[in-house]
Amino acid sequence: MQTLLLTLDLVGTFVFALSGAIAGVKRRLDVFGVLVLSFAAGNAGGITRDLLIGATPPGAISDWRYLGVSVLAGAITFWWSSFVERAWNPVLVFDGAGLALFAVSGTEKALAYGLNPIMAALLGTLTGIGGGMVRDVLLAEIPTVLRSDLYAVAALAGAVVVVIGHTLHLPSAVVAAAGAILCFGLRFGAIHERWHLPIARPPKA
Amino acid sequence: MQTLLLTLDLVGTFVFALSGAIAGVKRRLDVFGVLVLSFAAGNAGGITRDLLIGATPPGAISDWRYLGVSVLAGAITFWWSSFVERAWNPVLVFDGAGLALFAVSGTEKALAYGLNPIMAALLGTLTGIGGGMVRDVLLAEIPTVLRSDLYAVAALAGAVVVVIGHTLHLPSAVVAAAGAILCFGLRFGAIHERWHLPIARPPKA
Amino acid sequence: MQTLLLTLDLVGTFVFALSGAIAGVKRRLDVFGVLVLSFAAGNAGGITRDLLIGATPPGAISDWRYLGVSVLAGAITFWWSSFVERAWNPVLVFDGAGLALFAVSGTEKALAYGLNPIMAALLGTLTGIGGGMVRDVLLAEIPTVLRSDLYAVAALAGAVVVVIGHTLHLPSAVVAAAGAILCFGLRFGAIHERWHLPIARPPKA
């Protein structure tokens, strides 16, 4: 079980790292810059969560495998970026899976550190979306998650399921699976059906 | 007393969260993005201070009420942004009050964690201005506090008063009030009299 | 020895702070903004490293001298920016020295906190480049280190030497000197010979 979770976590890191590397290649960074964006996109969410709950050093810093899969994703993208680009539609599916997993595992880790349920759900969401936010900030852009389709809400929904299950003392494997499936389903639906949140109408000044 | 301080802290969070939400609405973020900016503007200063002094999890993470008032401010702004815009001049007064309070309470918390007086004053200032800086970075803009009127200096002046009072062992309620009043007064004067700091003249290259 | 290390650390902070102040002056920040950029450029790398390894409060927060040299660098640049600009070529040499020192000392601190060698080398590199990255993010620009010449790689090379020496139990003063000289030499060569890393070719979309 522990091995399965670690594997899924590393797969999620890999896919998020791909998204960072692609963004870096498009902005014509050098190879080091692409690797930095890979690592940031894959790990910044989890690192921020760990800093906030006091789990230092963060898992992505103490365990070299997170760096390993991030560098692998960055290197593949750097040398075969057109291949990764063409494969991005299937990658979007993995990205949804990564989001689902990060949201669920991030929430569980926050609960394990004694945070109250509401903030644990928030930290789970942050685990899912933080990497992409740091990626965009490093590229001097407004994070796409702040104005895009149902990305953060999908993560939040999965996190809320975990929190509710935890509060009701339901078996955690079932709850984790339910949360991940809900998150993935919402994200998948958002891509296919173009679901999105209402956008603010700025006041007529 | 403790209740009063918490109330003032939440009021400060609410007002700062309004400023984040307004900025988000103007940039046409979706409702989630507006709420993220609310939370960031209201709490990033205090969270950064808590991380730096080793107080994990930060208050804004462990206590759900900070999230509550931030979300409230964000939701109000999202649905009634023109109302909030029209009310912004009175809100600026509250914003000065929030700044004063955050600077004073941030300094006191840093002193309580054993930091030396100079760095405690700096962390108090950071508590006051950090939220606005993160808000602007998330919007891919240079933080306005780095080139605007007497905002950070007002916070610093209030923080210095607290530090001096602490060093001289003066009664802390009096010192806190004096620091907050000085900060608020400077900020109020800066708005009305357009006080500002000298701006660098770049070298003729 | 301890005094020598602290002196070198403060010299590195001073030089990095100069780079932040110059960037702030060019963007026409006010005097407070210039000082913030000085402090951020000089200390953000070390602060981030300390947060990640759990060394709170970070050295740059608990010891006021880091603030002191940062403010000094910022004030000098603010009032005599054309002088600092003209002196920038010699300053670049100091900057290379600062990078070398930060990379080596950052790696050693991470090893002392029990991180594994690979991540210690990474944190040493981060110590060297983090300040410049935060400086650029605050100016809403893509960090130059992500697409410039051999800057981060020089820091990484120095960090790797330290890690290898540590693993082989070589005398730490010798190892530190070797790492710093390699980093400085690579950086110096990069400036003079215009060495740079390959840049990604974005896919033809």
ipTM of the prediction: 0.85
Concatenating the DSSP letter of every residue in C149-195 gives: BSSHHHHHHHHHHHHHHHHTT--HHHHHHHHHHHHHHHHHHHHHH--
Q: Mark yes or no for CB contact A122/B30 under 8 Å.
A: no
Q: How confident is the model at residue C1 (pLDDT cuts 50, 70, 90)?
A: low
Tell me how far apart the alpha carbons of residues B94 and B178 are, in angstroms, rounded to a whole number: 17
Tell me how far apart the alpha carbons of residues A127 and A142 are, in angstroms, rounded to a whole number: 18
Q: Best of C61, C67, C84, C138 to disrupt the B interface by mutation (most B CBs within 10 Å)?
A: C61
Please report the sign of the dihedral spanned by the C-alpha atoms of residue C83, residue C87, residue C88, residue C92.
negative
pLDDT (tens digit, 9 = 90+) per residue, C76-97?
A: 988 887 777 776 666 677 788 8
pLDDT of residue C72: 96
Average pLDDT across chain B, whole number? 87
- B156: tokens are 């610093």
Query: Who contacts B149 (Cβ-Cβ below 8 Å, separation ≥6)?
Result: B190, B191, B194, B195, B196, B197
| Candidate from A53, A122, A146 with C-beta closest to B33 | A146
Q: Mark yes or no for CB contact B31/A200 under 8 Å.
A: yes
pLDDT of residue C98: 85
Which residue from C minimizes the CA distance to B146? C33
**Count of Cβ atoms closer than 10 Å to residue B81 Cβ:** 20
* Residue with tokens 């300094």, as numbered in its chain: B107
Lowest mean pLDDT among B13-22, B145-154, C42-51: B145-154
Percent of chain B with pLDDT strictly greater than 90? 49
Mean pLDDT, to the nearest integer, of C42-50? 94
Q: How confident is the model at residue B76 (pLDDT cuts 50, 70, 90)?
A: very high
Structural contact between residues B172 and B83, judged by C-beta atoms closer than 8 angstroms: no
Tell me how far apart the alpha carbons of residues C177 and C175 are, in angstroms, rounded to a whole number: 5
Average pLDDT across chain C, whole number? 87
Mark the ranges of chain A whose per-residue pLDDT is less than 70: 1, 87-91, 202-205
Which residue from B minimizes the CA distance to C22? B202
Mean pLDDT, to the nearest integer, of C26-55? 92
Helix (H, G, I), strand (E, B) or coil at C99: helix
A→B interface, C-beta within 8 Å? 51-54, 113, 115-116, 118-119, 122-123, 133, 137, 140-143, 145-148, 152-153, 196-205
Q: Best of B30, B35, B47, B63 to disrupt the A interface by mutation (most A CBs within 10 Å)?
A: B30
pTM of the entire predicted model = 0.88
| Candidate from B113, B200, B204 with C-beta closest to C29 | B200
pLDDT of residue B1: 61
pLDDT of residue A97: 84
Strand partners, A199: B30
| Res B205 pLDDT > 60 | no
Q: How many Cβ contacts (< 8 angstroms) between chains A and B? A: 92
Give the distance from residue C28's alpha carbon to the nearest chain B alpha carbon, in angstroms.
5
Lowest mean pLDDT among A100-104, B49-53, C33-37, C196-200: C196-200
- C156: tokens are 């990484």
Tell me how far apart the alpha carbons of residues C136 and C37 are, in angstroms, rounded to a whole number: 9
Tell me how far apart the alpha carbons of residues C34 and A32 are, in angstroms, rounded to a whole number: 28
Helix (H, G, I), strand (E, B) or coil at B199: strand
pLDDT (tens digit, 9 = 90+) per residue, B126-185?
A: 999 999 899 999 999 999 888 777 888 999 999 999 999 999 999 888 999 999 999 999
Tell me how far apart the alpha carbons of residues B137 and A64 are, in angstroms, rounded to a whole number: 30
Mean pLDDT, to the nearest integer, of C156-184? 93
Which residue from B minimizes the CA distance to C37? B146
Lowest mean pLDDT among A136-145, B50-59, C1-10, C127-136: C1-10
pLDDT of residue A204: 58
B→A interface, C-beta within 8 Å? 24-34, 36-37, 47, 51, 56-58, 61-62, 64, 67, 78, 81-82, 84-85, 137-140
Tell me how far apart the alpha carbons of residues B89 and B91 are, in angstroms, rounded to a whole number: 5
Q: How confident is the model at residue B23 (pLDDT cuts 50, 70, 90)?
A: confident
| Cβ-based contacts of C85 with chain B (< 8 Å) | 203, 205
Give the distance from residue A164's alpha carbon to the nearest chain C alpha carbon, in angstroms.
31
